[in-house]
Chains A and B, each alone.
Chain A
Amino acid sequence: MAYDKFEVLTSTAYPLPIENVDTDQIIPARFLKATERVDFDKNFFRDWRYNQDGTPKTDFPLNKKIYAGSKILVGGRNFGSGSSREHAAWSVYDFGLRCVISSAFADIFKGNCLNVGVLPVQVSPEFADKLFDAIMADPKTEIKVDLPNQKVTLVATGESESFDINAYKKDNMLNGFDDIDYLKNMENEIAAFAETRPF
């Protein structure tokens, strides 16, 4: 099993209402030098979380005590643009987050999240605004992310919206499986296909 199963998650959430958050912000390139997947939480949003002298920036949402321990991040539109570095998705997971909600994700980041056990939930811009407003008004606001029913709900008011995920990826997330398990089971079929390639 590559990661913990994901079924229903109810948690408070960090708000990050900034558009086009790119993977160089999520984890700057200088922290990609590891050869093992350990401790990527340390440098999650490094340059937005810390001053140059290493002290935390107190006004950055991820540093605010009122949100501490949240397992959900609500981000702005076009979240995760830029690099294919999976380290960005690892840093999300290692920071303790299991779900990122946004009105739009960059493709590769979204795929990387699904492969490492972070659920990317795409909602309408209106619902994203509703979530931001609720969290800003009350940091204790809880959000329920129900993967089996593909539904995200503001617990206090019961307002909810459905989200899409393809059935195969959903099954993987619910069971903690990954693609390699699937592909290794069709080795012969792949080998036969490889024979047909012209180069």
Chain B
Amino acid sequence: MAKTLFDKVWDSHVVRSVKDGPDVFFIDRHFIHEVTSPVAFLGLEGRGNTVVYPERTFATADHNTPTVNQHLPVEDPLSANQLDALENNAKKHGISHWGLGDKNNGIVHVVGPENGITLPGATIVCGDSHTSTHGAFGAIAFGIGTSEVEMVLSTQCIMQPKPKKMRINVNGKLGIGVTPKDVALYIISKQTTSGATGYFVEYAGDVFKDMSMEGRMTVCNLSIEMGARGGMIAPDAKTFEYIKGRSLTPKGADWNKAMKYWETLYTDENAEFDAEFNYDASDIEPMITYGTNPGMGMGVTKSIPTAANVEGGAETYKKSLGYMSFSEGDSMIGKPIDFVFLGSCTNGRIEDFRAFCSIVKGRKKADNVTAWLVPGSHKVVDQINTEGLDKIITDAGFVLREPGCSACLAMNDDKIPAGKLSVSTSNRNFEGRQGPGSRTLLASPLVAAASAVEGVVTDPRTLLVS
């Protein structure tokens, strides 16, 4: 029977199907970080269980970590406590741990692929919703809760009903200044934040075939923002090229064996999806959000829709615009901004820093803007330095910080103050997401860079085409 890519990977991981219930689903790779794992370890120990496959679990510190002075002790006692708990639990249970200062440390969804932990056809979970990132490699990857973290530690399985299948095709060529982030924000604006609830999405078509692995990770990362459990892209030569030779990928005969399997990972021609959508690359502009969820996005040159023209509750819509201090019909272009954040598991990779530098090179940061440039990992920092991007950044008046989740979710010291407007390359613009009372516009690294040098929301195409 014809199968989708998703079916092939899912079905090969079902240990047992429970009658009228979920599947017992085997997990190949489990990432843990300091925020959602401590209670899971308490639960595990409370029941007298042990970690069954410590070699399948990988720990990294990211949410709470400071992005300056990482060589000093962490000041916030609660953050320090969580980071210590992660380190101690990892040590006690024989789990590899990349703590603060480790050369492999960084955001969990950046360091997984970089180190060859993320592989095609694997099942990957983590107590973090943006685990969907790893689907870029043709893995089934999704976020889980802390009870499930304990489940995976103690049994290497979770109980999951199989989601429905959706395919999203984007064909054609993207225009100048249109990045993978824009493709994702465009799709989410069409689907809304709940359009893919209950589904696992496969992205297909020219646009994703042409996209770099970094770009694919950005798109899959944002799948959760339209309610999907995850997104995935069939692995191809580009995928195999990316993973080959990374420290933890299979080597020698194991590599050949794995390749045989990986080459079977595509959707068969007549395979059926429960839902399918087609979009045209030429309809996609650089995007920006104006509201308090990632579905409230539009082309950067457009005006905020009126409540009468949006689906759902007008009251909720108006509440959202009220929080942002925006009005229906407003244009974003030219709005003065206070902060720019480049980073996060969505846009903290080398390609994002290259894009940012392509705009700021030879220009200067606007005086009214505070910019936080936060690489996703130490490896990204090394690449930035090797490629000389650090000099472009410094010459333009910016400062590079140390790796971590930073201002994406304001669990660390990087918080946008109340009322301030931030252009952010992260994944969520929820009320208070970047700090209580903060206001977030989600955008690509190009939009962020253009806005950082102009001091107001700017269409990057005006700076690229000159």
Chain A residues within 8 Å of B, Cβ to Cβ = 2, 17-20, 22, 24-25, 28-30, 32-37, 47, 52, 76-78, 81-87, 89, 104-108, 111-112, 115-116, 166-169, 178-180, 182-184, 186-187, 189-190, 193-194, 197-199
Contacts and interface: CB of A to CB of B under 8 A. Distances in A.
B294 to A, nearest CB: 9
15 contacts: A20-B194, A29-B409, A30-B410, A33-B411, A34-B78, A47-B431, A78-B194, A107-B163, A179-B148, A180-B49, A180-B155, A184-B154, A194-B156, A198-B258, A199-B28
Interface of B: 15-16, 18-22, 24, 26, 28, 35-36, 38-39, 42, 47, 49, 52-53, 63-64, 76, 78-79, 81-82, 85, 119, 121-122, 127-129, 131, 142-148, 150-151, 154-159, 161, 163, 193-194, 197-198, 227, 229, 250, 254, 257-258, 261, 293, 295, 312-313, 315-316, 319, 409-411, 418, 428, 430-433, 436-437
A29 B411 contact: yes
B24 A183 contact: yes
Contact of A182 (B35, B159, B257): B159
B453 to A, nearest CB: 30
Contacts of A105: 197
Given A24-B428, A25-B430, A168-B159, 7 more contacts: A29-B63, A78-B194, A115-B147, A180-B151, A180-B155, A183-B159, A197-B26
B21 A186 contact: no
Nearest to B29: A199
Given A104-B197, A180-B155, A35 B82 contact: yes
B157 A183 contact: yes
A24 B432 contact: yes
Given A19-B313, A198-B261, A183 B411 contact: no
Contacts of A29: 63, 409-411, 433
A35 B315 CA distance: 38
A71 B63 CA distance: 33
Given A30-B411, A166-B161, A179-B159, A104 B194 contact: yes
A33 B155 contact: no
Nearest to B260: A198
Nearest to B248: A199
A33 B147 contact: no
Given A19-B316, A36-B39, A166 B22 contact: yes
B145 A108 contact: yes
B432 A20 contact: no
A24 B430 contact: yes
Given A168-B18, A180-B151, A183-B159, A78 B197 contact: yes
A194 B155 contact: no
Contacts of B15: 186, 189-190, 193
A167 B411 contact: no
B199 to A, nearest CB: 9
B38 A179 contact: no
B147 A178 contact: yes
B406 to A, nearest CB: 12
Contact of B250 (A18, A115, A199): A199
Given A36-B38, A36-B39, A81 B21 contact: no
Contact of B151 (A85, A183, A193): A183
A47 to B, nearest CB: 5
B20 A167 contact: yes
Nearest to B28: A197
Given A84-B143, A194-B26, A33 B193 contact: no
A84 B36 contact: yes
A166 B161 CA distance: 9
